Amino acid sequence: MGKILVIDDEKSIRRALTEILEFEDFEVDEAQDGKEGLDKAKSSFYDIIFCDIKMPKMDGMEVLEAIQKEKIESPVIMISGHGNIETAVEAIKKGAFDFIEKPLDLNRILVTIRNAGDRSSLVEEKKTLKKTVQRFKGSSIIGETDEIMQIKEMIAKVGPSEARVLITGENGTGKELVARSLHDNSPRKDHPFIEVNCAAIPAELIESELFGHEKGAFTSAVKQKKGKFELATKGTLFLDEIGDMSASAQAKVLRALQENVIQRVGGEKNIKVNPRIVAATNKNLRKEIEEGNFREDLFHRLSVILIHVPTLNDRPDDIPLLADHFLTMTCAEHGIPRKKFSEDALEALKNTNWSGNIRELRNIVERMVILCDDEITGFDVNTFSNPRS
| Same domain membership, residue 150 and residue 104 | no
Burial of 185 (0-12, 13-18, 19+ CB in 10 A): middle
| Same domain membership, residue 142 and residue 104 | no
| Same domain membership, residue 176 and residue 322 | no
| Same domain membership, residue 148 and residue 58 | no
The last residue of a domain, from among 310, 335, 350: 310
In a domain, 132, yes or no: no
| Same domain membership, residue 114 and residue 145 | no
| Same domain membership, residue 159 and residue 70 | no
Candidates 237, 301, 236, 233; CA nearest to 271 is: 233
- Per residue, the 3-state secondary structure of 99-116, as one string, reads EEECCCCHHHHHHHHHHH
| Same domain membership, residue 81 and residue 221 | no
In a domain, 354, yes or no: yes
To 5 degrees, how large is the angle CA 175–CA 181–CA 185?
150
| Same domain membership, residue 225 and residue 153 | yes
| Same domain membership, residue 377 and residue 239 | no
The last residue of a domain, from among 286, 310, 334: 310
Tell how strand 261-262 and strand 271-272 pair up: antiparallel
Q: pLDDT per residue over 43-91, tens digit each?
A: 888 989 999 998 888 899 999 999 998 888 889 999 987 767 788 888 8
In a domain, 230, yes or no: yes
CATH number at residue 346: 1.10.8.60
Q: What is the percent of the chain with per-residue pLDDT over 90, rounded to a whole number?
A: 65
Domain that holds residue 181: 137-310
| Same domain membership, residue 295 and residue 180 | yes
The yes-or-no verdict on residue 134 having pLDDT over 50 is no
Mean pLDDT for 169-190 is 95
The residue count for the chain? 389
pLDDT reported for residue 1? 57
Query: What CA–CA distance (Å, rounded) separates 230 from 388?
Result: 47
The last residue of a domain, from among 261, 289, 310: 310
CATH number at residue 68: 3.40.50.2300
Q: pLDDT per residue over 244-282, tens digit each?
A: 999 989 999 999 999 999 999 898 899 999 999 999 999
| Position 130 confidence tier, pLDDT thresholds 50, 70, 90 | low
| Same domain membership, residue 63 and residue 112 | yes
Q: Looking at the whole model, is its pTM more than 0.95?
A: no
Q: At what angle do helices 85-93 and 60-69 cross, to 10 degrees?
A: 20
| Same domain membership, residue 321 and residue 252 | no
Domains held by the chain: number: 3
